[in-house]
Chains A and B, each alone.
Chain A
């Protein structure tokens, strides 16, 4: 075995430039595998972080049936969730830690001579807790503010900066939304972008009652944000909510729900789907490079078999069996591809951080991707080395010896 390995190594070293060029396809392919997998893993880690930033043990109940109109189709329909639903859920569901309706509108907001277009979220006093919003200064609005539809609001970091300037505490200031003056009672700490890439800090939160009555005129909610007490009660809570809403909306068993319940897990899956497409594209690129690399190896091995016909004849004459010759050339092909694979892994290791640094892609190299890349390169060696090796093994000893 050692002798076979030594012979293979010698054959590769003899044509070092040719061997390197042959490996190039594998190097490119394997580094694409490493980079691709690391981008996928990095993006997933990022999404998981963002999903976690939404808060813990979260359910979102959307208006409309998402499975019917495509994943986001529900947003386009007129809302179906009512005040009555809110009251019933709040009263009857066991295992709730918090619940908040959600209405959204977008409006021009002005403070002093600054103004900006902001998305406005009408929510309950539970919302900040449910979504783990921290306060930079000031405090949340209260249940009383909700009941009275008071003109109070919380500013996200980005919005506060746009209206009052970087780092200036807006608490106590007045902002005019559609010419209605609202008092800023809280300044929200920064959260960053969400899983779908939009800035979570570019917002104004206010009591949903205020948003509905004073700004949008909506009478129904687009969603409920629900926090359940612990992971164990997730299914239980989901079932209770579904049952209550179906009853409230008088949905008979033969009809589809006019709401959709999404857990954090499902939302993270959804966000990851787009990353998966990117991973898939890189995977396809890697696959093509690897096939091209494999064909390169097959080609060079065929050349090598022809060049070394006489050597094969000599080996056969002194007693090598077909399988000995096969094994030798297969070893050589696998060595080529595995060395190429190792170089590719090295290149990938070097490339992935650069990608993060210069293109801002999150990357995460895992041991499993290295093992995967290594196995893939070995398999390519076997697959594409097999035909040339078989050709060598089946040479006729007399003709091989006579070959010039």
Chain B
């Protein structure tokens, strides 16, 4: 099987005047369809920098990045935008929803830029379906400020899914969520992954990483360890445990 994401000696150097920051210094790595990868590492270890290139928001300073068989370095701005639109879905730490815009319209957003154009009716149908997938069909006309953090993040996930991407990229998706909602979001991720979507997720929480299938640890811009998650957590079970604990607290 061909890898969907393939990095070969990927390097990214930021230049601020005379100062050079080697954010990522030589990463070689392949991710195959159906994987659920957690990328861990201390702050400043280059995780986001790598995710930006993987997400086609940025380009390598040197080295190769091949997404679904397409070499990224040779593409122009519009072609990268097109790839982001068709093959990638983003979930951010800060949700990044458009305020004063309903959940439904937020989810429709990527389809505004799809080519060929998607009819308004189809946009609506697909957005509602994506919201259903994350369990928010009944919140379609709510605005972000009327939703909880977990719900906002699920709207963001629906937005990431609506164009049926090959890969879901999430940079610290639970960073702004409490532990219970974090586990719920991981539940959504596991469900999507079971349906065949490849997920690459950055996190610095070990228990969140344990919901993934594969764990990569970075330090100072290089990969330190890359291993299969030994004792994988199941979100449904974790929620059951949390609920039992909560009940116990109430009883006590």
Bound pair (A, B): yes
- B 222-237 contacts with A by CB, 8 A: none
Which of B27-35, B64-72, B79-87, B194-202 contacts its partner? B79-87
Contacts of B163 in A (CB 8 A): 319
Contacts of A315 in B (CB 8 A): 109, 113
Contact check, B159 vs A318: say whether CB atoms are below 8 A apart.
yes
Contacts of A3 in B (CB 8 A): 112
Contacts of B58 in A (CB 8 A): 398
Interface flag for A358 (CB, 8 Å)? no
Instruction: Select one of B78, B100, B120 contacting A321, CB under 8 A.
Output: B78
**With A2-B120, A398-B52 in contact, do A319 and B96 touch (Cβ < 8 Å)?**
no
Interface flag for B241 (CB, 8 Å)? no
Chain A, Cβ-Cβ closest to B163:
A319
Please give the distance in Å from B216's CB to the nearest CB on chain A: 21
Report the Cα distance A177→B200, complex, angstroms. 110
The residue among B100, B113, B163 with the most chain A CB atoms within 10 A of its own CB is: B113
- B 85-123 contacts with A by CB, 8 A: 85-86, 90, 92, 96-98, 100, 109-110, 112-114, 120
Instruction: Select one of B78, B90, B112, B120 contacting A317, CB under 8 A.
Output: B90
Report the Cα distance A397→B52, complex, angstroms. 10
Contact check, A319 vs B82: say whether CB atoms are below 8 A apart.
yes
Interface flag for B75 (CB, 8 Å)? no
Contact check, B78 vs A398: say whether CB atoms are below 8 A apart.
no
Interface flag for A311 (CB, 8 Å)? yes
Contact check, B57 vs A319: say whether CB atoms are below 8 A apart.
no
A-B contact pairs, 25 of them (CB 8 A): A2-B120, A10-B100, A14-B100, A311-B98, A313-B96, A314-B109, A315-B109, A316-B81, A317-B55, A317-B57, A317-B84, A317-B96, A318-B110, A319-B81, A319-B84, A319-B85, A319-B86, A319-B114, A319-B163, A321-B77, A321-B82, A398-B52, A398-B58, A401-B57, A401-B92
- Shortest beta-carbon contacts, A-B, top 5: A319-B85, A318-B110, A319-B113, A321-B81, A321-B78
List chain B positions with a Cβ less than 8 A from chain A.
52, 55, 57-58, 77-78, 81-82, 84-86, 90, 92, 96-98, 100, 109-110, 112-114, 120, 159, 163
